[in-house]
Amino acid sequence: DAPAHIAGDYPEWLAASFARAFGDSAADQGRALAQRAPVDLRANILKADRPRVLKALEKFDAVAGPLSPWCVRLAALGPDKRNPHVEAEPAHGKGWFEVQDGASQVAALMSGAKAGEQVADICAGAGGKTLALAAMMANKGQIHAYDQDKHRLRPIFERLTRAGARNVQVLGADEGARLDALKGKIDCVFIDAPCSGSGAWRRNPDSKWRLTERQLAQRIEDQKAVLERGAGLVKPGGRLLYITCSVLPEENDDQVEAFLAAHPDFSLIPYREQWTKAIGTAPPQSAGAGSDTLLLTPLTHATDGFFIAAIRKAP
């Protein structure tokens, strides 16, 4: 039999990480990360519900996607076919939906963000999860959206306008002091941490062969830094969501364990408990080894690979 990294189509230097994450199913999990991905959309409940988006996109054979009550899915096409350009559709221009993988939607849902809360999305990027959080909060309360990379953050403004999201305060990349001024005031700090992107390899197949040990080490340091910064913002009794689009334990459970060891006033909320409270459906089985954190994968959940940990600060 071929070694797991060859059968699973991932770099040999990551073999030990995959074995830690998945045990005997490492090769199968790796193979699923090499399959073509579907196109997932999030119905924007500020403007439309899922049935309305399904109707608007029925010519693409759109169906309800997994796990998220907002998810609309267009099946993956053959290797030589191009995905439909859904962002050219009138429904997109009207703000009825955003392109967002089902696992990413689940990550936002797991925050449990509620109307009236103060939320900080401190690695906001182009704003995909910020928009989902705004919809969950029905534009009530406030979201502070920050990213230290101004180029990643730039598209957020047009997206907010199109989506009808009005409770978002965008903090520029050079306005870190404004973010830090929120110390101890935030109900929910949402950290979509910089990572290897290993959970999204099926959308960017070349990236796994370009990833280096040095790059991974840098991402791990970045994650520690952003966790530290985010922790300072959480108010007593508040919560922190730590998210990656990685399947590697070094970026996931290892980071959470190290953070909790250094911060005795924080504790892990078992993911099943958080899922039941925030989403209200039966929680799925995690693909990972951690019993209280959630790892979603293409093989197990038919989504991108995403890691989600919900952490509570003592009152």
The CATH number given to whatever domain includes residue 298 is 3.40.50.150
* In-domain check, residue 121: yes
Helix, strand, coil percentages, rounded to 5, for the chain: 40, 20, 40
5 assigned to some structural domain: no
In a domain, 225, yes or no: yes
302: left (phi over 0), alpha (psi -120 to 50) or beta: left
In a domain, 28, yes or no: no
The answer to the question of residue 14 being in a domain is no
Domain carrying residue 197: 102-313
Question: Does residue 200 belong to any structural domain of this protein?
Answer: yes
pLDDT tens readout for residues 17-64: 999 999 999 999 999 999 999 999 999 999 999 999 999 999 999 999
Q: Would you say residue 77 has pLDDT above 90?
A: no
* 73 pLDDT above the threshold of 90: yes
Q: How many domains does the chain have?
A: 1
Model confidence pLDDT, tens digit, residues 226-282: 999 999 999 999 999 999 999 999 999 999 999 999 999 999 999 999 999 999 999
Flag whether 209 is in a domain: yes
Task: Give me the sheet containing 63-64, strands edge to edge.
Answer: 63-64, 71-74, 39-43, 97-99
Instruction: Identify whether the C-beta of residue 124 lies closer than 8 Å to the C-beta of residue 94.
Output: no
Statement: residue 79 has pLDDT above 80: no
Residue 253, in any domain of the structure: yes
